[in-house]
Every structure is written in structure tokens, then in C-alpha cells.
Amino acid sequence: MTKKRILTGDRPTGKLHLGHLVGSLQNRVKLQDTYEQFVMVADVQALTDNFDNPQKVRDNVKEVVLDYLAVGIDPQKTTIFIQSLIPEIAELTIYYLNLVTLERVLRNPTVKDEIKQKGYGKNIPAGFAMYPVSQAADITFCKASLVPVGEDQLPMIEQTREIVRRFNTLYGDVLVEPEALVGNIKRLPGTDGQAKMSKSIGNCIYLSDSVDEVNKKVMGMYTDPARVHPTDPGNPEGNPVFIYHDAFNLNKKEVEDFKVRYRTGKIGDIEIKKRLAEVINELLEPMRKRRKEYEDQPDKVDEILRSGNHRAQEVAKEVMAEVRKAMKIDYSL
Ligand code: TRP
């Protein structure tokens, strides 16, 4: 029996943070033994909204790969590769564009939010609007059946499933319809209490942050704004400090005890935050060590990418041969 496949990835537009960890990275580490896993640095997708700043994308490719290795994605088990080095993905995107309508891509709720957030108005770059189609090509070029992602990516997986069904109906059963897998913590709020950790807002704790950075960010976190004194009763519900404790503190009894004392005004924010900073630093410490080991061996990282790209290329060739045959473009000239 060959293993089922996973494909997932990230845009290299910044370092990865705790939101990525709970949303997707933890699942990747957990599932790399049971699946044949492909993890892609989505540089082509990153260029769809950063085409005017290619240096930023280039610089972050390395950062994201180091983050992958730091969290424990094991290059012996997982194929790590760079999107632009697999031109079959671009080819597949072109074919898939026939299978979706303009109206459908612009209805994608995540794309809609991003268009608003970036203030494109009527001047939406076509490449940007189409990136979910390109993402369908990312996922299907290796026939992945599972996609560990954050909640915001669910519309992309839905769109991919539609494209797969359309393709298979038109051309025969070639592609695999993937499912999404979201982490236990659906959405990690930012340190400022906003709904999402986002590098553009600057409310992130990065996996590569130092002990001092973590301490500073945690001590400055948004908590219950109605609470002024440690003796005021506070509300742990929806409070990011408690959401983080729930996500990262393995001592559940301690967290419950904090909540009771918080509600009854018997503990200060400072004590709870100090403990949270400790918990996060314990979580990140092994990642910092591993990151440093790889940072000190750039040749090794290059070799990991070289062999990852090679493996991804092999798979892309196999699947594209089937796709071209199904689409009657398998010329033997
Ligand atoms: N859209 C994802 C993000 O913004 C990155 C991504 C590109 C991706 N291709 C993918 C995720 C394929 C999962 C599967 O982070």
C-alpha cells in the first residue's frame, strides 16, 4: 500500500508565527509519518500580491524553510520544495482556468476580504484574483488527499474540490478530491486582541522570537479591558491571554485555577502573563535550537531543497502525463 499524500504550504512573505503553528504546522509534524507529505514554499503565490517587491519574497523563502525545519518538519519524511521550481503547477493552472468562471473566483470569501484589505478597488491584479485556481493546481499536482491549513484557507479547498470534480467529469477520473484539516485551535487571536495574528498588523509572536521578544510581547498583551485592578473580577472568555494558555499550557489544572482566580479577582494579569511567557518560551526553545543548527549549515538547507524539488518534480511529471493524456494533449512528437 502506498501512503496517501498531503500537500500544504505557505506564502513566503514573512516568518511563521504561533497562529501558523496551531493552525497547520502541528498537524504537519504529527502526520508526516502516516502520509507522504509535500510542503511547498509558495513563492509564485506570494508574488501575486508582492510582484513589486520580489526581494521580500526571495528573502522570506529561506526564513520559511528554516521555520519548517525548526518546528520539526523532518526532511527525511517530508518533501519540502519551492513552487516556482515546479513549472507543471503553472501549466496545470492554465488548464484549470477553463474550469472556473470569473464570477466564481471573485466570490471566494478569503479573496474578497484580501481585495478589500489591500484596497484594490476595481484594479484587482488578475493574477491575484486567480490565485485560488493556482492553489488548486498546487494541491492536485501530487494528488494530495489531505491539506492541513488554517481556517482562512477553507474556501481554497472548497474551490479546489469543485475544480477536481469538473475536471474528472469532463476528462475522466484522474484527480483526487482533497479534504482540509484545520488545527484544534481554530483561530489564534493577535497579541492585541484582534481576531487574527497577522504580520501586516504586527500582533504576532514569531516562532523565531527570542526569549526577550516573547516576554515583551506577552507582557504587553491585550486582556480584559474592563479590569483595572487585580482585585476586580475579570473575564477569561475571549481573552487572548487565556486563549493562549488554553492553546499552549499543558498544565490544564493550572489554567483552570487561573480562570477561577481571575473571575473572582484573586490574581493579577501580571502573574498570568509571566506564566504564559514561560510556557511559550518552553515551547519555542527547542525550535530556536533547531533553527540555529540549520542556520549554521546553509549547504545542508540547500541540499534539502534540492532533493525536495527533485522529488516534487518526479511526482509532477507522473501526474501531468495522466492529465495531458486525459485532456488529449499528450502528443508523441
Ligand atoms: N494560501 C496559503 C497561504 O496564504 C499558501 C498556499 C499556497 C497553500 N498553496 C497552498 C496552502 C496549497 C495549502 C495548500 O498561506
> Of 316, 292, 297, nearest to 38 (Cα)?
316
Tell me what pLDDT residue 282 has.
98
- Greatest extent of the chain over all pairs of C-alpha atoms, in Å: 81
Strand order in the sheet with 78-82: 78-82, 36-41, 5-10, 146-148, 179-181
Tell me what pLDDT residue 198 has.
87
Contact status, residue 175 vs residue 138, Cβ threshold 8 Å: no
Tell me what pLDDT residue 14 has.
96
Given ligand 1 and candidates 45, 63, 84, 176, which is best to mutate, with the most ligand atoms within 8 Å of its CB?
45
Cell output for 217: 510581547
Mean pLDDT taken over the chain:
96
Q: Could you tell me which residues are beta bridge partners of residue 17?
A: 206
CB of 140 sitting under 6 A from ligand 1:
no
Nearest CA to ligand 1 atom 9: 135
Angle (nearest 5°) at CA 186 between 111 and 242:
130
Tell me what pLDDT residue 187 has.
83
Query: How large is the average pLDDT for residues 237-262?
Result: 96
CATH superfamily, region 211-291: Tyrosyl-Transfer RNA Synthetase (1.10.240.10)
Give the type of residue at 67.
Answer: D
Q: Could you tell me which residues are beta bridge partners of residue 5?
A: 36
Angle (nearest 5°) at CA 64 between 63 and 65:
95
State yes or no: pLDDT of 35 exceeds 80: yes
CA distances from 168 to 128, 136, 180 (A): 26, 14, 19
CB of 17 sitting under 6 A from ligand 1:
no
- Cβ neighbour number for residue 194 with a 10 Å cutoff: 13
Contact status, residue 192 vs residue 199, Cβ threshold 8 Å: no
Q: What would the pLDDT profile of 157-186 be if each residue is shown by its tens digit?
A: 999 999 999 999 999 999 999 999 999 887
In this structure, the strands spanning 5-10 and 36-41 are parallel
CB of 23 sitting under 6 A from ligand 1:
no
282 CA → ligand 1 middle, Å: 28
Q: Where are the domains of the chain?
A: 5-189+298-326, 211-291
Query: Residue 163: CB partners within 8 Å, gap ≥ 6?
Result: 96, 99, 100, 133, 136, 140
Contact status, residue 43 vs residue 55, Cβ threshold 8 Å: no
Angle (nearest 5°) at CA 152 between 148 and 154:
60
Among the atoms of ligand 1, which is closest to the Cα of residue 150? 15
Under the banding of pLDDT at 50, 70 and 90, the label for residue 89 is: very high
Q: What would the pLDDT profile of 287-319 be if each residue is shown by its tens digit?
A: 999 999 999 999 999 999 999 999 999 999 999
Q: Specify whether domain 5-189+298-326 bears CATH 3.40.309.10.
A: no
Tell me what pLDDT residue 200 has.
83
305 CA → ligand 1 middle, Å: 18
Tell me what pLDDT residue 112 has.
94
Rounded Cα–Cα distance for residues 169 and 7 (Å): 23
CB of 67 sitting under 6 A from ligand 1:
no
Rounded Cα–Cα distance for residues 82 and 247 (Å): 30
Cell output for 186: 481554530
CB of 147 sitting under 6 A from ligand 1:
yes
CB of 20 sitting under 6 A from ligand 1:
no
Nearest CA to ligand 1 atom 15: 10
270 CA → ligand 1 middle, Å: 37
139 CA → ligand 1 middle, Å: 9
Q: What would the pLDDT profile of 111-166 be if each residue is shown by its tens digit?
A: 999 999 999 999 999 999 999 999 999 999 999 999 999 999 999 999 999 999 99
117 CA → ligand 1 middle, Å: 18
| 3-state percent breakdown (helix, strand, coil) of the chain, nearest 5 | 55, 10, 35
State yes or no: pLDDT of 47 exceeds 70: yes
Tell me what pLDDT residue 1 has.
67
Rounded Cα–Cα distance for residues 246 and 227 (Å): 20
State yes or no: pLDDT of 62 exceeds 90: yes
Measured torsion, CA atoms of residues 59, 65, 66, 72, in degrees rounded to the nearest 10? 170
152 CA → ligand 1 middle, Å: 10
Q: What would the pLDDT profile of 201-245 be if each residue is shown by its tens digit?
A: 899 999 999 999 999 999 999 998 888 898 999 999 999 999 999
Rounded Cα–Cα distance for residues 54 and 89 (Å): 20
Over its C-alpha atoms, the chain yields an Rg (Å, rounded) of: 22
Q: Integer distance in angstroms from the first to the last C-alpha of the chain?
A: 35
CB of 143 sitting under 6 A from ligand 1:
no
* Sign of torsion over alpha carbons 4, 71, 74, 306: positive
Rounded Cα–Cα distance for residues 201 and 219 (Å): 18
9 CA → ligand 1 middle, Å: 5
SS3 125: coil
Tell me what pLDDT residue 223 has.
92
